[in-house]
């Protein structure tokens, strides 16, 4: 399935070839509530309408105000705009919403979780209280066959495929370090930005949800910051990653501010009713403030 959707991305990108300068921002919708608001960010090959089930569930179950951003024209721009540009657009949107000025919770689905980290680490934005990611590829994604078909670290791929920004090829690690946006966000570069660590530690709680049945993110453990060891296909735990120290994740763990939840849902099920019972207690604890 992962290989299939990447083929679709490649074909569509050749057909559409977006003109980046013409992109406009779609207005954000929200529902009034007296509690701390929550921003819900969709993932790749998705748009704000695909978040309706999850948004309605959060509103009805926890009486919270949910704000759903859209970047550009939705589904096409979710994968054919560079992730950095998407992150900058998200920053611009959220930082103009007065309702968020006193702090908010953030839920990022898949790629939306990486965009959430971009907001935390690279924007001078409003404070995020609890940061929740659902099957987000924090440790990157890698599939050998796909890497042979698409040159992920080429200038073209970096400009036209958002997922190339978190393509972490363990056999081309130096290219990943020098090119991929995720390497910067994960503080895996040779001279990591000190503010990344400081800003990650500014949030109250970091919650990661992963599933061993994830059929999109490879390895599935990437959603809890595990990743492939350099030059191997062996998955190493969070505690052995570079980011554990350099990004300050150890500090969050030591202070009981980093939580990991597991579901048995497939990747896409995390945003529909079939998975909500597995997520209910987590949402109740971290969104109901």
**Amino acid 26: pLDDT:** 40
Which pTM was predicted?
0.90
Q: What does R_g of the chain's alpha carbons equal in angstroms?
A: 18
Q: Which two tokens stand for residue 264?
A: 């048995």
Q: What is the pLDDT of residues 31-90, one digit of tens each?
A: 455 689 999 999 999 999 999 999 999 999 999 999 999 999 999 999 999 999 999 999
Q: Which residues have CB under 8 Å from 137's CB, separation 6+?
A: 110, 111, 113, 114, 166, 182, 217, 222, 223
Q: What is the pLDDT of residues 111-135, one digit of tens each?
A: 999 999 999 999 999 999 999 999 9
**Amino acid 34: pLDDT:** 64
Say how far apart CA 247 and CA 195 lie, in whole Å.
Answer: 9
Q: Which two tokens stand for residue 142?
A: 């890698």
The confidence band for 270, taking pLDDT boundaries of 50, 70 and 90, is very high
Q: What is the pLDDT of residues 176-198, one digit of tens each?
A: 999 999 999 999 999 999 999 99
**Percent of the chain scored above 70 by pLDDT?**
88
Helical spans, DSSP H, in the chain: 2-16, 52-62, 75-80, 83-94, 111-122, 144-149, 155-160, 173-179, 181-185, 194-200, 243-246, 249-254, 273-287
Q: What is the pLDDT of residues 1-34, one digit of tens each?
A: 444 444 444 434 333 333 333 333 444 444 455 6
**Amino acid 288: pLDDT:** 81
Please choose, from the candidates 94, 96, 130, 135, the residue with its C-alpha nearest in 3D space to the C-alpha of residue 114. 135
Say how far apart CA 92 and CA 89 lie, in whole Å.
Answer: 5
**Mean per-residue pLDDT, 256-267:** 98
Indicate whether 280 pLDDT > 60.
yes
86, with CB counted inside 10 A (0-12, 13-18, 19+), is: buried
* 146: number of Cβ within 10 Å: 18
Q: What is the pLDDT of residues 147-160, one digit of tens each?
A: 999 999 999 999 99
Q: Which two tokens stand for residue 92?
A: 């611009």
Please choose, from the candidates 94, 98, 99, the residue with its C-alpha nearest in 3D space to the C-alpha of residue 124. 94
Question: Which is the CATH superfamily of the domain at 2-17+37-287?
Answer: Alpha/Beta hydrolase fold, catalytic domain (3.40.50.1820)
């Amino acid at each position: 399935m992962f290989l299939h959707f990447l083929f679709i991305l490649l074909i569509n990108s050749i057909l559409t070839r977006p003109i980046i300068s013409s992109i406009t921002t779609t207005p954000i919708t929200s529902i009034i509530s007296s509690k701390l608001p929550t921003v819900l960010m969709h993932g790749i090959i998705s748009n704000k309408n695909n978040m309706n089930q999850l948004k309605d569930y959060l509103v009805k179950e926890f009486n919270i105000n949910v704000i759903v951003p859209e970047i550009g024209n939705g589904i096409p721009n979710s994968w054919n705009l560079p992730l950095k540009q998407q992150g900058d657009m998200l920053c611009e949107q959220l930082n103009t919403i007065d309702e968020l000025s006193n702090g908010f919770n953030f839920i990022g689905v898949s790629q939306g979780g990486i965009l959430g980290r971009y907001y935390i680490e690279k924007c001078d934005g409003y404070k995020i209280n609890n940061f929740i990611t659902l099957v987000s590829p924090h440790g990157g994604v890698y599939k050998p066959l796909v890497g042979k078909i698409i040159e992920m670290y080429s200038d073209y791929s970096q400009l036209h495929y958002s997922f190339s920004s978190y393509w972490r090829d363990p056999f081309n690690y130096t290219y990943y370090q020098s090119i991929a946006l995720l390497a910067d966000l994960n503080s895996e570069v040779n001279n990591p930005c000190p503010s990344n660590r400081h800003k990650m530690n500014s949030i109250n709680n970091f919650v990661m949800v992963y599933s061993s049945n994830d059929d999109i993110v490879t390895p599935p453990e990437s959603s809890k910051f595990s990743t492939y060891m350099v030059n191997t296909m062996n998955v190493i735990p969070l505690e052995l990653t570079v980011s554990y120290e350099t990004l300050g994740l150890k500090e969050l763990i030591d202070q009981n501010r980093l939580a990991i939840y597991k579901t048995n849902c497939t990747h896409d099920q995390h945003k529909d009713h079939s998975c909500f019972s597995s997520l209910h207690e987590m949402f109740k604890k971290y969104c109901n403030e």
